[in-house]
Chains A and B, each alone.
Chain A
Amino acid sequence: MIRLDALSVDFDERFQLHDIKWTLRPGEHWLITGANGSGKSALAAVLAGDGDRLSGTLEGVPERVALVSYERQADLIAAERRKDDADILDVMSEGTPVAEILGDGCEDLDLARNLVDTLGARPLMNRAFRKLSTGETRKVMLIRALTSRADLLVLDEPFDGLDHDSLIWLQGHLCELAETTPMVIVLNRFDECPDFVTHVAYVDDGRLPLCVERGDEQAYAELYQLLHLKTSDLEIPAADPAAQLPALDPDKPLVQLTGATVRYADNTVFEGLDWTIEPNQSWQLSGPNGSGKTCLLQLITGDHPQCYVNDINIFGYQRGTGESIWEIKQFIGYVSTALQWEYTVSTGLRNVIISGFYDSIGLYTKSTDAEKTIADEWLALLGISDRAEEPFNRLSFGDQRLVLIARAMVKHPPLLILDEPCLGLDDMNRQLVLALVERICLGSETSVLYVNHREQDRVAGIDNHLTLSDNTGA
């Protein structure tokens, strides 16, 4: 039996859990839920030994606890980056290969092999861990945890970023594992709560006000409602009249890719892809992990070096004819998990939103009063006006996402690219984001390019679909 009694825990002085009373009995499997920034991940991480105990007691936690979470994922990627020899001097380095990351701490080689094949991770084995896509990194973290023969499995958003097939399989596998291993799962989405979960813990503002038995239908329904609180009166702040973007020819496509191909020495990600995005036309892009969704987007944003060897006409520029990426980026708003990981600045939220006017990570120019006003309007829309000066890197993962969406939209770009914008968000904020995206789609000035692979995150108003097929051979 694991027992937390009057436990208060501090996380690097940026977040605290207060007075947690919680008992996990043998045979129980828990779901932890709550709004973004409420402390779900923190509570889960406490079971894995994270945080500094301020008072109270924590008893009965088994010695071997496996934790999968965005924070751990980010730590590992950060550790890989620190190892990068390229930082030292004139040496290129590839980083630790996936096979080595998986081998570290693995207690069940047969299972590991099985998981690698089932999750289609075989082609990743020799690649550098830090070069994987978000979904691929997640798979590697999961395989590591599942093969560690832990006595307690703590999974923080285990289904996020997985494609449909991997998700179904994992849910099945966890069901089997639940027979022998106690589990604590953090989920923002109630509708994905696995059947074996027996109890739900609801976290709010660093406290644990509610513990609900799955069998208690009424309490369960109320909790569901609580998380579904809808926000109303959504108004998108206007663009800055002083910072008009150059006019685009309304009769020309925004983006035209002809025969687009991305190829590495040993791997063709996709080839011969034709795609035209007309003004005021929104698209949904889907495809399994590793099918090249992000590569395709990067060809458009100019972040993929092979955009120079492809036939890309974008915002009136033929790529590779002397235009700078800043001339391209000025027309694009962009949000992705990768951007969030890159956005490691301690600057305040207002400045993060203002940085959208400059397409920069961090703010390197003095901002105008008009820009500040617009940023404050966005903060109000997100319900975090009182946190304008708070450092971005102290926000919860979900709140960071909302701020980055505001940053992307702040200049009302002709093209808004949302690469899995709901990844890691809770129900309430997910509804908010989706409503926001719908609103943007209905307006006439911004074309939305929306990437996801989850049925329930469809957005009304997006009627064009492009699906990339699997190329990993998995």
Chain B
Amino acid sequence: MANYFNTLPLRAQLAELGKCRFMHLNEFSDGVEALRGKKMVVIGCGAQGLNQGLNLRDSGLDVSYALRDEAIAQQRQSWKNATENGFTVGTYEELLPTADVVLNLTPDKQHTNVVETIMPMMKHGACLSYSHGFNIVEEGMQVRDDITVIMVAPKCPGSEVRAEYVRGFGVPTLIAVHEDNDPNGVGLALAKAYAVGTGGHKAGVLMSSFIAEVKSDLMGEQTILCGMLQTGSLLCFDKMVDEGIDAAYASKLIQYGWETITEALKYGGVTNMMDRLANPAKIRAFELSEELKDIMRDLYNKHQDDIMTGAFSSGMMADWANDDAKLLGWRADTAETPFEKTPASDMEIAEQEYFDNGILMVAMVKAGVELAFETMTAAGIIAESAYYESLHETPLIANTIARKKLYEMNATISDTAEYGCYLYNHACVPLLADFMTGITSDMIGKGLDIADTGVDNAHLIEVNEAIRSHPVETIGSVLRGHMADMKRIV
């Protein structure tokens, strides 16, 4: 199988990358009709598989679960999840030949295997749905001509997909149709009905392409989402310890700091995150982020280039073929870092203190979000996609670090994200070595030691203007506006 993206002519590549449109609610007026009475069979009963199935069934659709023989025979967790929730469970052979839509919700790495196994069993004219396009775009999976291939990807963890549906709402969802596999022209109707079935249409649906989804998703996860937070954690911790700050305090400031800082990002973008700092600190964070962006710009470009050429995915697939030797080695290294090995202090840190004492962390988030966004849009990815894959998802990863630190964060994100995260980290840590020598504890650990919080008006206006006029803020305020009704405490 060959990289699908690379088989396309440039004009088609650009057209596919540029696909992303926020759909209007009235485009979903047909509800779930396109799927009504159709037999939907889910493969993979993890959090996404189970929770999407629960939503689809509650929307009046016919959902069952196909599990491997051994999962049924040994009554594994996936079997329990499906049966305790009252779903029909059967083997591939039992369920797939009559399925109208097969929902492949297994991890990326299993896709080739799963799809090759199920394809011969699927009936003529059925639909195969993905929630991530890696298999099609990077691995070049060729799906049988008569099969419709679509993607429906809720942009939140499975438990939230369910919780928001039960509230009467949904989570933002990306849909796409694989143009090479839409023989009957029904792909879009099916994808829209699926998004309605999971409740996604209420929170906003992005009509994208397999290619735009893959190329933006990979870029976001390996740079700002996982990579920047990993690199930032390691560098900030070591710096604080060097500066004589209590290691347990440093560990806590970082572990929970990302979550606290990016919570502000989630609600009001980079602008709000920066506004949480006092004016002198905000100006300092701004300067640091500008410096960081200059240093890291080439690295972000390289990541985007490698994703575009397929160099990234072929490197990773070589490691898959080699029993994940590199991945597992890097994962083990992460466990041995001083940050990872230092338990967080049990002292209380006030919410505002995470900002005041974490100026460098704020700067890193800002630099990472903006660079990832700039790099993606420069590569032809449309702003909506770039926003979701950078700013929107950063709090989700920050949240996993708060609960589990880096090792477990890496073990729980997808293998694809984890592999990319290590690549980024290995390049970025040495890249920032010089920069870090200039950092002192007033920027990370202690906060600015100044009695006078006054600033120059003109300078402040200039900084605020630069923060607020960044394109990620422009698109962000539009997209967050669509979700304004989600106001709630979490």
CB proximity to B under 8 Å, residues A73-89? 82-89
When each residue 324-359 of chain A gets 1 if its CB lies under 8 Å from chain B and 0 otherwise, what string results?
111100000000000000101111000000010011
- Select from chain A the residue with minimum beta-carbon distance to B82: A305
A363-B37 contact in complex given A91-B47, A305-B84, C-beta closer than 8 Å: no
| Contact flag A309-B86 (CB < 8 Å), given A82-B403, A302-B58, A364-B169 | yes
Instruction: Tell whether, in the assembled complex, residue A91 and residue B412 are in contact, meaning their CB atoms are under 8 Å apart.
Output: yes
- Contact: A362 with B81, CB < 8 Å? no
Contact residues of B between 444 and 490, Cβ < 8 Å to A: 485-490
Let me know if A364 and B485 touch, CB within 8 A.
yes
A243–B107 Cα distance when bound, in Å, is 45
Contacts of B32 in A (CB 8 A): 324
Interface-centre pick from B37, B61, B157, B414 (highest chain A CB count, 10 A): B157
**Counting CB contacts under 8 A, is B343 at the interface?**
no
A86 near B488 (CB under 8 angstroms)? no
Contact with A along B153-184 (1 / 0, CB 8 A): 00001111000001111000000000000000
- What's the nearest-Cβ distance from chain A to residue B414, in Å? 7
Query: Is B124 an interface residue when CB atoms closer than 8 A count as contact?
Result: no
Output the nearest chain B residue to A364 by Cβ-Cβ distance: B485
Are A87 and B488 within 8 A (Cβ)? no
Q: Is B306 close to A, CB under 8 A?
A: no
Q: Which single residue of chain B is at the shortest CB-CB distance from A321?
A: B60
Q: Which residues in window 276-333 of A have CB below 8 A to B?
A: 302-303, 305-309, 322-327
Task: Bits for A256-292, please: 1 = Cβ < 8 Å to B, else 0.
Answer: 0000000011000000000000000000000000000
A373: interface (CB < 8 Å): no
Most central of B47, B403, B404 by chain A CB within 10 Å: B47
Within 8 A of A (CB), among B300-349: none
B-chain residues with CB within 8 Å of residue A362 when the two chains form the complex: 167-169, 485-488
Q: Does B282 contact A (CB under 8 A)?
A: no
Q: Contacts A306-B85, A322-B60, A358-B168 known; A89 to B403 CB distance under 8 Å?
A: no
A361 at the binding interface (Cβ < 8 Å): yes
Kindly list chain B residues whose C-beta atoms are within 8 Å of the C-beta of A393: 489
- Inter-chain contacts of A57 with B (CB < 8 A): none
A305 touches B85 (CB 8 A): yes
Q: How far is the CA of A306 from the CA of B57 in the complex (A)?
A: 12
A118 on the B face (CB < 8 A): no
Q: Which of B62, B400, B403, B488 contacts A347 (CB 8 A)?
A: B488
* Given A89-B400, A361-B168; A322-B37 close (CB under 8 Å): yes
Question: Looking across the interface, which residue of chain A has its beta carbon closest to that of B85?
Answer: A305
The verdict on B431 contacting chain A, using a C-beta distance below 8 Å, is: no
Chain B min CB distance to A344 (Å) = 5
Q: A92, B168: Cβ atoms under 8 Å?
A: no
Q: Does A471 contact B (CB under 8 A)?
A: no
Least Cβ–Cβ distance between B366 and chain A, in angstroms? 24
Contact partners of A231 in chain B: CB under 8 A: none
Q: Would you call B59 an interface residue if the criterion is a C-beta within 8 Å of the partner chain's C-beta atoms?
A: yes
* Residues on A with beta carbons closer than 8 Å to the beta carbon of B167: 342, 360-362
Asked if A463 CB lies within 8 Å of chain B CBs, one says no
Chain A proximity of B282: nearest CB distance (Å): 24
Docked Cα-Cα span, A345 to B163, in Å, equals: 13
Check if A90 is an interface residue, CB within 8 A of chain B. yes
Chain B residues near A307: list those with CB within 8 A. 86
Selected from B61, B77, B160, B487, the residue in CB contact (under 8 A) with A345 is B487
B280 within 8 A of A: no
CB of B242 to closest CB in A, whole Å: 31
A89 with B157: in contact, given A305-B84, A322-B36, A322-B62 (CB under 8 Å)? yes
Q: Which residue of A lies closest to B404 (CB)?
A: A88
Question: CB-CB < 8 A to A342: which residues of B?
Answer: 166-167
A360 lies within 8 A of B158 (CB): no
Among A82, A91, A358: residue with most chain B CB under 10 A = A91
> Judging by beta carbons under 8 Å apart, are B488 and A345 in contact?
yes
**Quick check: B159 and A323 within 8 Å, CB to CB?**
no
In the complex, B357 has a CB within 8 A of chain A: no
B399 at the interface (CB under 8 A from A): yes
Closest chain A residue to B58 by CB distance?
Answer: A325
Per the bound structure, the CA–CA distance linking A115 and B167 in Å amounts to 37
Q: Which residues of A contact B158 (CB under 8 A)?
A: 86, 89-90
Question: Do residues A363 and B485 form an inter-chain contact, with CB atoms below 8 A?
Answer: yes
In this complex, the member of A90, A307, A342 whose beta carbon has the largest number of chain B beta carbons within 10 angstroms is A90
Please state if A84 and B60 are interface contacts (CB–CB under 8 Å). Answer: no
Least Cβ–Cβ distance between A397 and chain B, in angstroms: 16
Cβ of B54 under 8 Å from chain A: yes
User: B85, A92: Cβ atoms under 8 Å?
Assistant: no
Inside 8 A of B12's CB, which chain A residues have their CB? none
- In the complex, the answer to whether B169 meets A360 with C-beta atoms within 8 Å is yes
- With the chains together, A323 CA to B77 CA distance in Å? 28
**Do B159 and A84 touch (CB < 8 A)?**
yes
Contact code string B389-406 (vs A, CB < 8 Å = 1, else 0): 000000000011001100
In the assembly, what is the distance between CA of A307 and CA of B87, in Å?
10
8 Å CB contacts to A: which residues of B1-59? 32, 36-37, 46-48, 50, 54, 57-59
Q: Does B215 contact A (CB under 8 A)?
A: no
Compute how far the CA of A169 lies from the CA of B48 in the bound complex, rounded to whole angstroms: 45
Residues of B within 8 A of A347 (CB): 487-488
Binding site for B on A (CB under 8 A): 82-92, 264-265, 302-303, 305-309, 322-327, 342, 344-347, 355, 358-364, 393
Q: Given A308-B57, A361-B169, list of 4 further CB < 8 A pairs?
A: A91-B46, A92-B50, A322-B37, A361-B167
A to B CB contacts below 8 Å, 17 in the list:
A85-B403, A87-B159, A87-B160, A88-B400, A88-B403, A88-B404, A89-B412, A89-B414, A90-B46, A91-B47, A305-B87, A307-B86, A322-B61, A324-B32, A324-B59, A326-B168, A362-B487
